[in-house]
Amino acid sequence: MARALHVLKGDHASDAATVIESQIAAGDHVTVALLADARLPELPGGIEIHRVPGDTSYERLLELIFEADSVVTW
């Protein structure tokens, strides 16, 4: 099972949701990091969500980046 991190800054939320849904369907572990005031798109359940810097620090975001097998920025 691959570990994917998606970092959303606000643009392309619907595109991100499409990719995330396919990764979940493939059995991947998906984490989403929302930067600043980025809005969370409609996503399936079972996804780890982090709001940076609201509930997650930038230091923790860096750790998430290194823990992931792939990182996609939107």
- Residue 15 banded pLDDT, cuts 50, 70, 90: very high
Q: Is the pLDDT of residue 3 over 90?
A: yes
| Cα torsion angle, 29, 71, 36, 20, sign | negative
22 CB contacts (<8 Å, ≥6 apart)?
none
* Digit-coded pLDDT (tens) for 17-67: 999 999 999 999 999 999 998 999 999 888 999 999 999 999 999 999 999
Of 3.30.450.20, 3.40.50.2000, 3.90.420.10, 3.40.440.10, the CATH number of 3-73 is: 3.40.50.2000
**pTM (two decimals):** 0.94
pLDDT value, residue 10? 84
Tell me: the pLDDT tens digits for 35-47? Answer: 998 999 999 888 9
